[in-house]
A = this chain, B = another copy of it.
Amino acid sequence: MTILIADIGGTNCRFALGRQTVLPDTVARFRLKDHHGFDAALDHYLAGQGQPVLTSACLAVAGPVIGACAQLTNSGWSLDASVLAGRLGVDVTLVNDLVALGHALPHLSSAATVPLHAPAQRYPNGQSVVVGLGTGTNIAAVIHRAERPPAVLSAEAGHLSLPGSITRRLEGRIGAGMSAFHSAESIFSGRGLAALHTALHGATVPSLALTSHPEVPEAGETLSLHAELLGVWLQEIALLTLPRNGIWLAGGVAQGLVRAGYATVIAEAFAAPNSNNGPTGAIPMHLITDDLAALTGCLAAVRQA
Instruction: Name A's B-contacting residues (CB within 8 A).
Output: 64-67, 123, 125, 127, 139, 141, 143, 145, 151-157, 159-167, 182-183, 236, 239-242, 244, 275-278
Contacts of A183 in B (CB 8 A): 275-276
The reply to whether B182 and A275 form a contact with Cβ atoms under 8 Å apart is yes
* Complex Cα–Cα for A212 and B235 (A): 37
Output the least CB separation between A151 and chain B (Å).
4
Q: Does more than half of chain A's interface fall in helix, strand or loop, or is it mixed?
A: mixed
* Complex Cα–Cα for A64 and B156 (A): 25
* Complex Cα–Cα for A129 and B282 (A): 26
The reply to whether A240 and B157 form a contact with Cβ atoms under 8 Å apart is yes
Contacts of A163 in B (CB 8 A): 160-164
* Complex Cα–Cα for A143 and B159 (A): 21
* Most B-side CB within 10 Å, residue of A65, A240, A244: A240
Contacts of A152 in B (CB 8 A): 143
Partner of A145, one of B151, B160, B236, B240: B151
The reply to whether A156 and B125 form a contact with Cβ atoms under 8 Å apart is no
Contacts of A155 in B (CB 8 A): 239-242
* Complex Cα–Cα for A154 and B65 (A): 24
Output the least CB separation between A90 and chain B (Å).
21
Partner of A159, one of B66, B154, B278: B278
5 A–B pairs (Cβ distance < 8 Å), ordered by A:
A66-B125, A66-B244, A125-B154, A153-B241, A157-B239
